[in-house]
């Protein structure tokens, strides 16, 4: 029997995955409290590119990234970097990442990623409708651009995989690209347009809207830093950094890049690392962006949000504690000026956030080893917003004793 005032579920993390899960649980009739060290939309959910990248089924861990990595790693401001001060610490994770790049592992990860993408896409619009946020959805597609026919040809195996999974796309020449996105530099000679790539008007405003909806339906959001968990009779005790304790019948750990620290307190060693993402958000009149543009050879995107033009991406594997290196934001913005002649670069706001990433590019979704009353939902890397509605469905199924909507074995937190 539940103690008076004790919620059915405590969700740790008020990012887009945590709040989506809290709302989904609430819609199933459970009482839910959300805890977050900073409050709603304070982390990666605030500064991402705003994409529901349902066509992005290929894992980051792949043979293709291994071919590019040596060149990229030599450039400290390039698409993929590891700060020297962090290189030794991340070596075990990099070894797991290298192993995950084998063809067998890539095929497995792609199948699992596709299943989660399909579920997330199916769940998205009903979820937005139920939470009063459907008006924020945009369906403007994505344009991947290439600087040569050879670069396009190198991407074709990935498009073949997408085609097998029924993903719509079309390859374009320079004229075709100009019809979709005028103003590209002549250096971009080929492109691929995927119309099934959705986006949100602004990821921070969307996440804050979810928080408001959750509160309006009786949900509680508290600012609290969680230091650990302790299984107890009939539930889980949450230990706060300030010495406080809370209890719930069940707990969801969805604290983004900090989740593995919480999991460690109940004996779970999950190899979560931090991809530090950088961007600059320019005023809305900086450029006439009509679709999200991906400069894949340079590791960044340009996106039109309701609040401005966002230039960002790239991967810096640098953990949680090193200071931000905003030269990375400046380098991307300088490239964007070259790639989009006429882009106004003044008045931008820089940002850095932590993307929680596991070596095989799949999230951890499933029960803790120590107790079935704790469920993990983290490690989505670049795809937290994309997979938020699908993850919320799976976690809610688990916590309400329903069969999960898809097979979740590939997302097992214990797979490592």
Q: Write the pLDDT tens digit of every residue in 249-306.
A: 999 999 999 999 999 999 999 999 999 999 999 999 999 999 999 999 999 999 999 9
80-102 mean pLDDT? 91
pLDDT band at 1 (very low <50, low <70, confident <90, very high): very low
User: Per-residue pLDDT tens for 350-393?
Assistant: 999 999 999 999 999 999 999 999 999 999 999 999 999 999 99
Mean pLDDT, rounded, for 234-261: 96
As a whole number, the mean pLDDT across the chain is 94
- DSSP character at residue 23: H
327 pLDDT higher than 60 = yes
Residues 6+ away with beta carbon under 8 Å from 93: 271, 273, 317, 359
> Which sequence spans correspond to the domains of the chain?
1-62+101-138+197-272+359-416
Residue 326, token pair as written in the block: 């905003």
Q: What is the pLDDT of residue 314?
A: 80
Rounded CA-CA distance 376/275 in Å is 19
Question: How is 201-263 classified by DSSP, letter by letter?
Answer: S-HHHHHHHHHHHHHHTT-EEEE--EEEEEEETTEEEEEETTS-EEEESEEEE--GGGHHHHH
What is the topology classification, in CATH, of domain 1-62+101-138+197-272+359-416?
FAD/NAD(P)-binding domain (3.50.50)
What the block records as the tokens of 304 is 């039109």
**Predicted model pTM:** 0.95
pLDDT tens digits for range 135-157: 999 999 999 999 999 999 999 99
Q: Cα separation of 103 and 328, whole Å?
A: 31
Asked whether residue 4 carries a pLDDT value surpassing 80, the answer given is: no
């Amino acid at each position: 029997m539940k103690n008076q005032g004790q919620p059915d579920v405590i969700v740790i993390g008020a990012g887009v995955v945590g709040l989506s899960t809290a709302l989904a649980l609430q819609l199933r009739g459970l009482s839910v409290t959300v805890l977050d060290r900073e409050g709603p939309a304070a982390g990666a959910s605030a500064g991402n590119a705003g994409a529901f990248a349902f066509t992005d089924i290929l894992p980051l861990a792949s043979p293709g990234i291994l071919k590019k990595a040596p060149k990229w790693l030599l450039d400290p401001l390039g698409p993929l970097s590891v700060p020297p001060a962090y290189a030794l610490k991340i070596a075990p994770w990099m070894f797991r990442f290298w192993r995950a790049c084998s063809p067998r592992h890539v095929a497995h990860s792609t199948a699992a990623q596709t299943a989660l993408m399909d579920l997330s896409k199916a769940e998205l619009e009903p979820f937005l409708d139920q939470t009063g946020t459907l008006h924020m959805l945009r369906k403007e597609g994505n344009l991947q651009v290439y600087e040569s026919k050879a670069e396009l040809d190198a991407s074709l195996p990935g498009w073949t995989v997408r085609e097998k999974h029924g993903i719509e796309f079309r390859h374009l020449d320079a004229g075709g690209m100009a019809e979709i996105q005028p103003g590209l530099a002549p250096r971009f000679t080929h492109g691929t347009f995927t119309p099934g790539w959705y986006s949100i008007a602004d990821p921070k405003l969307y996440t804050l809207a979810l928080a408001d909806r959750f509160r309006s339906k009786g949900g509680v959001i508290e600012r609290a830093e969680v230091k650990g968990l302790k299984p107890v009779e009939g539930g889980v005790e949450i230990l706060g950094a300030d010495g406080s304790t809370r209890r719930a019948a069940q707990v969801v750990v969805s604290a983004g890049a900090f989740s593995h620290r919480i999991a460690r307190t109940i004996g779970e060693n999950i190899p979560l690392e931090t991809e530090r993402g950088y961007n600059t958000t320019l005023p809305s009149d900086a450029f006439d962006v009509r679709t999200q543009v991906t400069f894949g050879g340079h590791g960044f995107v340009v996106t039109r949000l309701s609040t401005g033009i966002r230039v960002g991406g790239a991967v810096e594997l640098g953990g949680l504690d090193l200071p931000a290196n905003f030269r990375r934001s400046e380098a991307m913005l300088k490239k964007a000026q070259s790639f989009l002649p006429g882009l106004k670069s003044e008045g931008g706001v820089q940002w850095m956030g932590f993307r929680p990433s596991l070596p095989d590019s799949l999230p951890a979704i499933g029960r803790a080893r120590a107790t079935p009353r704790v469920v993990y939902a983290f490690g989505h890397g670049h795809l937290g917003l994309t997979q938020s509605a699908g993850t919320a469905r799976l976690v809610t199924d688990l916590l309400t004793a329903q069969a999960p909507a898809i097979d979740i074995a590939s997302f097992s937190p214990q797979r490592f």
